[in-house]
Amino acid sequence: MIVLIVYLFAAVYDIMQLMRQNNRTRGLPLINFSFKDKAARRVLLTLIKFVFAVALTVLAYLTAKEPAYLWVGLIELALIFVIYNLLVDTKIVFRLLADLLFFIYVAQMLVLYFGNSFITLTMLKNVQFLQDLGGRAVAYILGTVIVLAIVFMPGQNILHKINKKILLAPVILLLIVEIVLHGSYKRFSPVQSFGTIFASEIRYQKVKRASVNPEIARESYYRPSFEDGIAKPKSLPENPNIIVIFTEGLSSNIISDEREIMPNLAAFEDECLTFENYYNHTFPTLRGVQGQLYSGYKLDDNEVANNLISVQGILKNQGYTTSFINVEPINDIFIEYCNNLGFDNVITDITHCTGEAKGMTDGEAYRLLMDSAYDLSESDKPFFLSIYTFGTHVSFDTPDSEVVYDDGSNEVLNRFYYLDKEFGEFLEEFKASDLADNTILIFTTDHATYADQTYMKAFPDYKRECTDVDTIPFFIYYKGMDHKTVDAGGKNSLCFAPTVLDYLDINSENYFLGTSLFDSKASSEFDSIFYDASYMVSTEGGQVRYLDDLEVDDFLSQVLSYYTAVETIE
């Protein structure tokens, strides 16, 4: 940081000298310096580039609220500043390299500013869902245009008066610092974090190509049964209906916030069997929903099916009719995804689909959920009905201008407040219906709320260790039950499937990676590891901690054969 400031002052001095020389030649006063001088103009543009980078770094720090992003970023920017000046006046290939380094830095800081993390492989793999960003897409596109305009402004070496041998010393010093940062602060480094995208992709492709004997895979993950940590409540009928609600991106802190953003859900939690210190196991939605139903990781963010044993498959063998509600009936990818989840039926209603990104609003989704439950209850068979609601997706606002939080100025609080209102109306109707006498209602989420810039501003006092990982709600409700809280101890949503089945006293052979939360002694290598294309994070004991390199290698060596099992078992 100090080196960068010194160099910037030196550059300002150079500009002053050029201005004096230019004006003396023309006999003009200093204040009338003209931009017609190409060299002076390019020096000024170079200064603008790096002042912009410094300002963006500070803004990104104010979003992330992590000092390491600031001081690591400025150290790295100082190194890029020197390298840029050494290369910008040389051959075109080196000039392009200088611009590339600068581009990587500012692009990373721009994404950190908007998204509270650097660019990740998961982000790149979800570009296909760009329409889900709603109104925020305009801000992202505008920011990208500004960055590209700044990057490609012509530059010039403003350190040309400094002997290159003298410059070599700070370059070597900064490179040594960069190497030292690689150990403990790599994830705060814009350039090194950019490099991890390629490392993640190589690792991802390695996992994808891994050839493990299918027989070994089946043997490794096959379980003849799972934990029996709780007896089925005596008040439950033999085969109760089951409704599971997966809400888009909901962290527990939003429900418990003192501002009463979600009062209906907060009151509902006090009536339920509630799990605390319970984390999401992955990100984003396509991995999150399927991963919970099958208690397993998903390799790709796509519609490809998991061929292993699922909650819906086990319940189907118990005589249940299984149905899933698709709230994005115009999204071809999500249609295929829902069709491959292994339910008997996929329910949708394309005529009531007025939400953002051509999806259903939460009000429309809950109406369809209630109507579907009524229809299924007319059969003699018990039913398992699940839904994923879409309206709380990052960047969305309330679809109803009459249902806003406070003055309606905060889109984050608005969308969760609207969801809470719709859930409250659904719950009221559910409790008043005959369904409540023989139906278990389960409320959870696909993953934690993505902690982007808008989330951080809405919850400035809430500290997140990782943008994608947080505690999430998991509530089980049945009419007349007593409220109880179970400490999950940092275990994650891989435990959803065995926990629900354990509560129902239904056991089966399986390939679950998670364990029942009702058995505090049960554990696996995976039930407290968050894993997606970019991060591997431990949540053991309720503490969020990034895995070190050796732990990452060990984890991946264990999970390779699981993916072979997913692809080969019919």
Integer Cα distance of 39 and 156 in angstroms? 7
User: Is residue 199 domain-shared with residue 241, that is, in the same domain?
Assistant: no
Residue of 285, 249, 277 lying closest to 125 (CA atoms)? 285
Query: For residue range 453-473, what is the model confidence (pLDDT) as tens digits?
Result: 899 999 999 989 899 999 999
Query: For residue range 257-271, what is the model confidence (pLDDT) as tens digits?
Result: 999 999 999 999 999
Across-strand partners of 486? 275
Query: Is residue 451 a contact partner of residue 467, using CB atoms and an 8 Å limit?
Result: yes
In-domain check, residue 380: yes
Domain end, chosen from 498, 521, 544, is at: 521
Across-strand partners of 441? 243, 477
| Residue linked to tokens 């940092």 | 490
In-domain check, residue 434: yes
In-domain check, residue 543: no
User: Is residue 361 domain-shared with residue 403, that is, in the same domain?
Assistant: yes
User: Is residue 244 domain-shared with residue 155, that is, in the same domain?
Assistant: no
In-domain check, residue 254: yes
User: Is residue 255 domain-shared with residue 136, that is, in the same domain?
Assistant: no
User: Is residue 114 domain-shared with residue 201, that is, in the same domain?
Assistant: yes
Query: Is residue 295 a contact partner of residue 497, using CB atoms and an 8 Å limit?
Result: yes
In-domain check, residue 9: yes
User: Is residue 242 domain-shared with residue 197, that is, in the same domain?
Assistant: no
User: Is residue 125 domain-shared with residue 13, that is, in the same domain?
Assistant: yes
Residue of 58, 15, 63, 67 lying closest to 39 (CA atoms)? 15
* Token code pair at residue 371: 């109507």
User: Is residue 301 domain-shared with residue 174, that is, in the same domain?
Assistant: no
Q: Kindly provide the b/e burial profile for residues 41-72, where b requires at least 16 CB atoms within 10 angstroms of the residue's own CB.
A: bbbbebbebbebbbebbebbbebbebeebbeb
User: Is residue 255 domain-shared with residue 182, that is, in the same domain?
Assistant: no
Integer Cα distance of 179 and 22 in angstroms? 43
In-domain check, residue 544: no
In total, how many domains does the chain have? Answer: 2
User: Is residue 366 domain-shared with residue 495, that is, in the same domain?
Assistant: yes
In-domain check, residue 540: no
| Residue 55 lies in domain | 2-205
Integer Cα distance of 394 and 388 in angstroms? 15
What is the torsional sign of CA 424, 425, 428, 433? Answer: negative
In-domain check, residue 221: no
User: CB neighbours of 422 closer than 8 A, spacing ≥ 6?
Assistant: 361, 362, 363, 365, 366
Residue of 418, 401, 411 lying closest to 362 (CA atoms)? 418
User: Is residue 40 domain-shared with residue 135, that is, in the same domain?
Assistant: yes
**Average pLDDT over the chain, rounded to an integer:** 85
Residue of 105, 113, 109 lying closest to 136 (CA atoms)? 113
Written as tens digits, the pLDDT of the chain (570 aa) is 444 444 444 444 444 454 445 444 444 443 344 556 777 788 888 888 899 999 999 998 888 888 988 998 998 898 889 888 888 888 888 888 888 889 999 988 888 888 778 887 667 766 555 555 555 566 667 777 877 788 778 888 887 777 766 777 777 887 787 777 766 777 888 888 888 777 767 766 665 565 556 566 667 788 999 999 999 998 898 899 999 999 999 999 999 999 999 999 999 999 999 999 999 999 999 999 999 999 998 876 666 677 789 999 999 999 999 999 999 999 999 999 999 999 999 999 999 999 998 899 999 999 999 999 999 999 999 999 999 999 999 989 999 999 999 999 999 999 999 999 999 999 999 999 999 999 999 999 999 999 998 999 999 999 898 999 999 999 999 999 999 999 999 999 999 999 999 999 999 999 999 999 999 999 999 999 999 877 899 999 999 999 987 888 888 877 776 776 665 544
Q: What is the pLDDT of residue 35?
A: 53
User: Is residue 102 domain-shared with residue 168, that is, in the same domain?
Assistant: yes
Question: What is the Cα gyration radius of the chain?
Answer: 28
* Token code pair at residue 545: 């901690």
**Where do the H-state alpha helices sit in 27-135?**
38-64, 67-87, 92-115, 121-125
State pTM to two decimals.
0.80
Domain end, chosen from 482, 498, 521, is at: 521
Q: What is the pLDDT of residue 486?
A: 98
